[in-house]
Chain A
Amino acid sequence: MIQLFLLTWLLSQASSPEAMQHMQAGLEARKQQQVTVEIAEFRKATEIDPSLADAFVNLGRAYMEAHDYGAAIAPLKRALELSPDLPVAHQFLGYALLAQGYAAEAIPHLARVGAQDALGIAQLETGQLNEAVSILGSALAKRPNDPDLQYYLGHASGLLSKSSIDTLLAQYPDSPRAHQALAENYFVLRQMPQAEKEYLEALRLRPDLPGLHLELGQVYANSAQWPKAEAEFRAESQLRPGSAEAAYRLGAALLQQGKAREALIELRRSNDLKPEMPETLYALGKAAALNGDNNTAERSWSKVVELEKDTSLAAQSHFGLAGLYRKQGKTAQAQHEMQEFQRLQSTIGPPRSE
């Protein structure tokens, strides 16, 4: 379509017939994917008629098809000198410059044609992190399954996050948020004693800061210190009674200690606050089974299976259901659930140990 448009536009230009013949030959070679011929034909066209902007555009494009982005830059720039408003030239030049590492130079060309993906990358490379996150987010909304966009948005967000934290640590090193940020870093690095120390310092400074108890609880949970984890999750739940996650974490910590009745209450509360969360439902099923509430257990695990289909949580729910039915003497149903568990195990692998 673009080629037809270009050809029509070309024919409307007053140019030498010989140059036009090479243009046509170049376009024909493109169709045949003969990129070397394509480059040669467009180059001849530019030599015969150095004022033919489209010949330069096509030559630049041909170089790009040959992945020779460096060679593409000069003809594309020349095309824009001849015809400054040519959108295709801006687009290709932007891409070529970006590919060659001239991100700052690429930005105006990419912005002019609204090439969000490449523009976001260029902004990321020039340290315009806020702008990059914004525009990459927009691009990803239009193409949600694009792995390159997913990567670049993640990368940009990470850098932005790091930049913000660096600023925080530099400007307010003794603030509770600075201690929280340090604690989070230690947590990621699995340096739990240091993470604990920083969280405790943050809590000393601001005991009511949302999220701190939750995160400190996870430090304790990670090292299987369940009574301490329970205390922190409980504190978070009291601070934020509307937090489904705090209720879930508290329920899970109680469950780990065999406090099934209390766990059931918290997990029910979490499920009420945010229904149909598979992790909550799975834990709710466990707590219910421990309490002898087989109906709730069956209902919760069946819901997980319905929501998750073929994840390890679904496999675990099938396994839970198999045990439940086995205890109830429902042999056929138990066998069915066990078969489903084994089927999922064979496809997604066995659930990993804690």
Chain B
Amino acid sequence: MIRRLTRRTLLRNAGMAAAAPIFNLKPLRGIDFILQNSPTAKKFLIETMPGGVALFDYNNDGLLDIFLVNGGHITESLHVPENFERTNPRYWNRLYRQNRDGSFTDVTQAAGLANAGNGNYGMGVAVGDYDNDGYPDLFVTSYGKNILYHNNGDGTFTDVTAKAGVAGGGWSVSAGFFDYNNDGLLDLFVTRYMEWDADHNKICGGDWHTYCPPSVFPATSCLLYRNRGDGTFEDVSARAGFTAKKGRALGVAFADYDGDGFTDIFVSNDGMQQYLFHNNGDGTFNECALESGAALTSDGKGLSGMGTVFQDYDNDGRPDIIVTVLPRELYGLYHNDGGGSFSYQSLETGLGALTSGSSGWGVGLEDFDNDGWKDLFVAQSHVLDNVQQIDASLRYKELPLLALNHGGRFERADSGVTTPIAGRGAAFGDINNDGFMDVVISTLGGPPMLLLNRGGSGGHWLSITLRGTRSNRDGYGARVRVNGQTRFATSAGSYLCANDKRLHFGLGPVEKASLEIVWPSGTKQLLNEVRADQFLEVREPEHS
């Protein structure tokens, strides 16, 4: 592992490291959204769990738009069948179209996304072009029923849930599109948290009245839908091996960790072992986290797994796993050692020292300073809104964590956020197309926050849009190497969120790049002498 000599490295070595924050906290002009989680004294567990953010270009105008998932209205008299008043505009999910001047316009109603169903308390969102028509579609998860919105390509969406057969049920959380069988069609994976409803809610914490830990409620299973290619999906959860594997899933991320050409699934579970589902390539999955070393801490303890990311943080070409958790645990970092084996390296990488007092949700590994190393960003806040009364050393609202990656070791940096927030979702993308990755965070009971990258490092970059032909059109599942860095193409990961699908690479001082793309179809594509500082669309060769 050779450490690149960057401007920042030089400055730091000279003791002159710039203290300026990476991000500017910018108002999202035109966005008046408030995440309505509706906390009550009854401490219904769903109240503390939303909400998702999607960064995607729904109208293909080259600008990232923002979709925000709302919770719903809850009163203390909530009973089954629950009514969350989602017909009331206050509780709608919202789509905001980005304008050329960086402002946003609320297009929710015009786009046909206004009513998410009274029985559905919103959670997360996934983005993928499941019908390969060139327009990204939306899948919204809920406590209740999930909704698949087909993007009609004219600025509107159609609720196709019933036809597609993906409503699910129960308490769905994070979800993601991926192509598990490499047939060129995006399939859909949905995590579910637990068996819960308003009539079976419990209050914990004695006199303090807190949300209960997950172990109080029965575990449940995740859902896998196979895309038939005709606008419908088949629930293959049982056949693929997911129904039998119950857990308390909150996060999901995809990557081919063993290089066998099939996308695998990592599921972060709350208060228990984590799950790594190895794709056997025959339509089935084998849960192997324990024998792979990605299930527990180095002490053999479970984790309160919430958000997760499955990308290569140390530039060895293999995807690693990070899981965000509660305080008194450490955010889990599982280094991919190769050969299907992971080792827990939260301590070695410095992540442990940064996170033992924090609660993490949305998480991303992105190269925010364009130095060639993926940095870590986490939206943070405790799950209990009254945690400080119970443990004076803990806080409900926290600052986000920004940890810059120095050759595989993480060090805290100034995110630019100065006021603690109740962070939940975090979606990553280049909002203003300046070549530097930005972040949008959802906050419980508050507006979303845009952390706009100042671009202060001045490092070069390359942003790649994959255009699959034989593979799925989004290119999800492709392994892309640029100047020794690797990204696994996906918009999933984090917590409840969908990220900009463009693959961002920081290049440091280098102005040319060499690309190697291994498409899900198996096609390998090489591009050399690619100019830096551009948005590049790469089309998959029609023939290998």
Contacts and interface: CB of A to CB of B under 8 A. Distances in A.
B328 A224 contact: yes
Nearest to A317: B300
Nearest to B299: A316
B353 A352 contact: no
Residue with the greatest number of chain A CB neighbours at <10 A, chosen from B300, B349, B350, B393: B300
Interface string A189-208: 01111000000000000000
Given A256-B353, A257-B353, A323 B392 contact: no
Contact of B327 (A193, A224, A255): A224
B300 A255 contact: no
Interface string B417-448: 00000000000000000000000000000000
Contact of A192 (B303, B344, B392): B392
A63 to B, nearest CB: 45
B393 A192 contact: yes
B284 interface: no
Given A224-B328, A323-B293, A327-B343, A353 B301 contact: yes
A16 B76 CA distance: 83
Contacts of B348: 258, 260, 290
A338 B353 contact: no
Interface in B326-342: 326-330, 337, 341
B357 A224 contact: yes
A350 B327 contact: no
A319 interface: yes
A223 B328 CA distance: 8
A353 B304 contact: yes
A342 B300 CA distance: 10
Contact of B293 (A225, A326, A345, A352): A326
Given A323-B298, A354-B328, A257 B303 contact: no
Interface string B288-325: 00110100101111111000000000000000000000
A336 B391 CA distance: 40
A78 to B, nearest CB: 54
Contacts of B328: 224, 353-354
A286 interface: yes
Interface string A156-191: 000000000000000000000000000000000011
B347 interface: yes
Given A315-B300, A316-B300, A338-B291, A258 B357 contact: no
A251 interface: no
B356 interface: yes
Contact of B341 (A223, A326, A335): A326
Interface in A336-354: 338, 341-342, 345, 350-354
Given A192-B392, A319-B299, A326-B341, A290 B357 contact: no
B289 to A, nearest CB: 12
B382 to A, nearest CB: 13
B214 interface: no
A320 interface: yes
Contact of B347 (A290, A320, A350, A351): A290
B170 interface: no
A226 interface: yes
B391 A226 contact: no
A114 B523 CA distance: 91
Interface string A280-296: 00000010011000000
B298 A320 contact: yes
B300 A226 contact: no
Nearest to B340: A326
B352 interface: yes
B interface bracket (residues with beta carbon within 8 Å of A)? 20 to 34
B303 A353 contact: yes
Contacts of B330: 354
B168 to A, nearest CB: 29
Contacts of B301: 316, 350-354
Contacts of B349: 258
Interface in A316-334: 316, 318-320, 323, 326-327
Interface in B255-314: 271, 290-291, 293, 296, 298-304
Given A224-B327, A315-B300, A354-B329, A338 B392 contact: no
Contacts of A326: 291, 293, 341
Given A224-B356, A225-B357, A290-B348, A193 B392 contact: yes
Contacts of B344: 323
Contacts of B303: 353
Contacts of B326: 353
A315 B300 CA distance: 8
Contacts of B347: 255-258, 260, 290
Contact of B356 (A192, A256, A290, A318): A256
Contacts of A319: 296, 298-300
A353 B290 contact: no
Nearest to A350: B302
A235 to B, nearest CB: 20
A327 B341 contact: yes
A316 B344 CA distance: 14
B2 to A, nearest CB: 20
A327 B290 CA distance: 14
Contacts of B343: 323, 327
Interface in B88-116: none
Contacts of B271: 353
Nearest to B357: A224
B47 to A, nearest CB: 23
Contact of A190 (B290, B300, B353, B391): B391
A41 B394 CA distance: 71
A26 to B, nearest CB: 55
B329 A223 contact: no
A286 B352 contact: no
Contacts of B298: 286, 289, 319-320, 323
18 contacts: A193-B392, A224-B356, A225-B393, A256-B353, A257-B347, A258-B348, A289-B298, A316-B300, A320-B299, A323-B343, A327-B341, A338-B291, A342-B290, A345-B300, A350-B300, A351-B300, A353-B303, A354-B356
Interface of A: 190-193, 222-226, 255-258, 260, 286, 289-290, 315-316, 318-320, 323, 326-327, 335, 338, 341-342, 345, 350-354
Given A258-B353, A290-B347, 11 more contacts: A193-B393, A224-B327, A226-B353, A258-B348, A258-B350, A290-B348, A316-B300, A319-B299, A320-B298, A335-B291, A353-B328
Q: Which 3 pairs from chain A and chain B are nearest by CB?
A: A223-B393, A319-B300, A224-B356
